[in-house]
Structure 1
Amino acid sequence: MMKYFAESELIINPDGSIFHLHVKPEQLADKIILVGDPGRVALVASHFETKECEVESREFKTITGTYKGKRITVQSTGIGCDNIDIVVNEMDALANIDFKTRHEKETFKQLTFVRIGTCGGLQPYTPVGTFVASVKSIGFDGLLNFYAGRNDVCNLELEEAFKKHMNWSPLLSAPYVIDGDKELVDRIAGEDMVRGITIACGGFFGPQGRELRIPLADPHQNEKVESFVYGDLRITNFEMESSALAGLSALMGHKAMTCCMVIANRVAKEANANYKNSIDNLIIEVLDRI
Structure 2
Amino acid sequence: MIAASELILNPDGSVYHLNLKPENIAHDIIFVGDPDRVEKITHLFDSIEFSTQKREFKTQTGNYKGKRLTVISTGIGADNIDIVLNELDALVNIDLETRKIKDKLTSLNIIRIGTSGALQPDIPVDSFVISAIGLGLDCMLRSYQSETVTIPFLENAFVKYTNWNPNKGQPYAVACSEKLAELLGNPSIYKGITATAGGFYGPQERVLRLALQDEKLNSKMDSFNYKGTKITNLEMETAAIYGLSALLGHQAISLNAIIANRSNGTFSSNPDATIEKLIDYVLTQISKKGTQI
How far is 1:273 from its partner? Answer: 7.0
1:17-56 CA-partner distances (Å, limit 9, x unpaired):
1100001110010000000000000001011111100000
- 2:16 paired residue number: 19
How far is 1:108 from its partner? Answer: 0.9
Count residues in correspondence: 286
TM-score (norm 2): 0.95
Q: Which runs of 5+ in 2 are unaligned?
A: 287-293
Which one-letter code corresponds to 1:93 in the other structure?
Answer: A
CA distance in structure 2 between the partners assigned to 1:19 and 1:203 by the alignment: 25
- 2:275 paired residue number: 279
How far is 1:232 from its partner? Answer: 1.8
Q: Which runs of 5+ in 1 are unaligned?
A: none
- 1:177 paired residue number: 173
CA distance in structure 1 between the partners assigned to 2:213 and 2:86 by the alignment: 33
Q: Which of the residues 80, 84, 89 maps onto 2:81? A: 84
**Alignment of structure 1 residues 202-221 onto 2, 5 Å:** 202-221=198-217
Which one-letter code corresponds to 2:137 in the other structure?
Answer: F
**Alignment of structure 1 residues 104-253 onto 2, 5 Å:** 104-148=101-145, 150-253=146-249
Q: What SS does the corresponding residue of 1:277 show, helix, strand or coil?
A: helix
CA distance in structure 1 between the partners assigned to 2:75 and 2:250 by the alignment: 21
What percentage of residue pairs aligned between the two structures are identical? 48
CA distance in structure 2 between the partners assigned to 1:39 and 1:273 by the alignment: 20
What is the root-mean-square deviation in Å for CA atoms of aligned residues?
Answer: 1.0
TM-score (norm 1): 0.96
How far is 1:193 from its partner? Answer: 1.0
Tell me if the contact between 2:95 and 2:101 (Cα under 8 Å) persists in the aligned partners.
yes
How far is 1:191 from its partner? Answer: 2.4
Tell me if the contact between 2:259 and 2:274 (Cα under 8 Å) persists in the aligned partners.
no
Q: Which of the residues 4, 10, 26 maps onto 1:29? A: 26
Does 270-279 or 204-213 show the bigger shift? Answer: 270-279
1:120-169 CA-partner distances (Å, limit 9, x unpaired):
10011211111000000110110110101x11110000000000000010
CA distance in structure 2 between the partners assigned to 1:88 and 1:273 by the alignment: 33
Which one-letter code corresponds to 1:30 in the other structure?
Answer: H
Which one-letter code corresponds to 2:125 in the other structure?
Answer: V
Runs of at least 4 residues of structure 1 off by over 4 A?
A: none
Which one-letter code corresponds to 1:79 in the other structure?
Answer: I
Q: Which of the residues 252, 255, 270 maps onto 2:251? A: 255
Q: What SS does the corresponding residue of 1:56 show, helix, strand or coil?
A: strand
- 2:290 paired residue number: none
**Alignment of structure 1 residues 52-63 onto 2, 5 Å:** 52-63=49-60
How far is 1:274 from its partner? Answer: 4.4
How far is 1:92 from its partner? Answer: 0.4
Which one-letter code corresponds to 2:100 in the other structure?
Answer: H
CA distance in structure 2 between the partners assigned to 1:250 and 1:113 by the alignment: 11
CA distance in structure 1 between the partners assigned to 2:275 and 2:185 by the alignment: 15
CA distance in structure 2 between the partners assigned to 1:56 and 1:12 by the alignment: 16
CA distance in structure 2 between the partners assigned to 1:63 and 1:277 by the alignment: 22
- 1:68 paired residue number: 65
| Mapped pair 1:98 → 2:95 | yes
Tell me if the contact between 2:117 and 2:233 (Cα under 8 Å) persists in the aligned partners.
yes
CA distance in structure 1 between the partners assigned to 2:236 and 2:21 by the alignment: 27
CA distance in structure 2 between the partners assigned to 1:29 and 1:23 by the alignment: 12
Which one-letter code corresponds to 1:260 in the other structure?
Answer: N
Tell me if the contact between 2:25 and 2:70 (Cα under 8 Å) persists in the aligned partners.
yes
Q: What SS does the corresponding residue of 1:171 show, helix, strand or coil?
A: helix
CA distance in structure 2 between the partners assigned to 1:239 and 1:164 by the alignment: 22
